[in-house]
Amino acid sequence: MKVLVADKISPKGVAHLRRQPGIEVVEAYGSSPQKILELVRDVHAIAVRSETKITAEVFAAAPLLRVVGRAGVGVDNVDVEAATERGVIVMNTPSGNTVATAELTFTHVLCGARPVPQAAASMRAGKWDRKSFSGVELFRKTLGIVGLGRIGGEVAKRAQAFGMRVLAFDPYLAPSRAKAMQVEAVSLDELFAQADFITVHLPLTDDTHHLIGEAAFAKMKQGVRIFNCARGGIIDEAALLAALKAGRVGAAGLDVFEEEPLSEKSELRQLPNVVLTPHQGASTAEAQDAVGLEIAEQIADVLSGGSTRNSVNVPSVDAATLKLLGPYLDLGAKLGTLVQQISPSQVSALRITFWGKIVDLDANPVTRSIQHGFLRRISGEGANLVNAPVLMQRLGVQVEVVKSTGESDYTELIQVEAVAPDGAVRSAIGTLIGKAGQPRIVGINGREVEVAAEGKLLVLENMDQPGMVGTVGTILGKDGVNIADMSLSRLTPGGTAYMVVRVDTEPSPTARAEIKGNPAIKMAKFVQL
């Protein structure tokens, strides 16, 4: 397999990839977009930083591509939607530059309190001007942190060391977590009203774009100091410029901008109370070594069939969790493909219900595995765990997941139901048997059966009358098809019964037609798991 390292990452990361058996590494730093299109034709993975753009055109030109790894946090230079549609995993390294970014953020906070860069520039100009560069202390001031993730948490620790009161706004922050970190969880408006210093640590989304704008500045203290080392666009730069000129904002520090590089004509460059840095958050030797090695390890894991970590478009699963979920993934895929093959061609919804220990686990990978199984024969090799939800949505199939705490006859149970537009339901239920967790089908369309979830199955619904087993066995015998296993089920004597026959080889079209043509057989489906 071939890995294209399109941007310069740590030599330690490149060396790690080269040590992996079966992996060829191509380093092509500074390649033009056209050259990238040529290089990706036979690559299985691409490693980038922020320079190379991995566009929809690149994905279309790379039929073997399985993973794109970004040595850093943001994936702005990767078309994640196109990657997902193509079934390509996109990963980043959110933890490798945590300390570096937190330290730069706090450097900006310090420079916002004490205008050291401005004083240093004055000294270089030959001046000795003590009065113009008076500042304030951080001690007993209030810092408001918008977004208390990894970096926000590290900033909080440093602020506390300076004797600051720390407020935090994060809609996903549990009260217990806030208490453990010794921060006060508040609403965004409360943070704006109380903070002397404000720093943002959020991803750039539709909801966070221009989160700090004219309306937000109006709610802040006069002279507030504000900082952004997260993503350009979270702060409305035009509104910030107006607030700085009006004195509403006393100082600002920015490492990221709405358009990068920042225009030479930007008025922000001219204001004396603004400190600007050119997107330097991760620019430490330690951070670059960490993210370069980390993304190399993640790419190698994916290519070797191991765990997926820090993916932005598929649930990340570490090695320990993957080992635990492995049997469920296999069972889920087989249930999904079984239900698809016994259902009508049009399905409006897929209901997935879990019982047992899996209820307490992250079932997202299993849900994707079920969807992938359902799509396997519909969408072919183009379907995988990455793009399965997109493909289901494109088909108009709504996926519903239920984690049940009710009782069942089995310790572990997964039920998959396909609902047709007319409300008809086709279903399959499976469980894991034995210490090895062997997948087993224990129910089809509401009938109790028991058959190994592997190989080839004949699923029959027939009138409950004498000789049906012999009739089916005779037809298969004449066709040279050996029966490996069989399960029978009925609700009431003389009604309809289910027969699930596991066979070693696929019956011929003639044999299948003879089975379907028997007047006592109401439904006959051949299923390949």
Active site residues per annotation: 231, 260, 279
501 alpha carbon, distance to own chain's centre: 39
From residue 365, alpha-carbon distances to 307, 328, 386, 391, 417 in Å are: 12, 9, 10, 16, 18
Q: Which tokens belong to 29?
A: 């730093």
Q: Which tokens belong to 252?
A: 């600002």
Cβ contacts of 73 within 8 Å, gap of 6 or more: 92, 93, 94, 97, 101, 282
Count of other CB atoms within 10 angstroms of residue 50: 18
Torsion of CA 80, 83, 84, 86, to 10 degrees: 160
Q: Which tokens belong to 180?
A: 């453990």
DSSP for residue 73: S
DSSP for residue 411: S
**Tokens 């916002």, located at residue:** 112
| Residues 280, 269: Cα–Cα separation, whole Å | 17
Task: Reduce the DSSP state of residue 78 to 3 states and report it.
Answer: strand
| Residues 351, 380: Cα–Cα separation, whole Å | 22
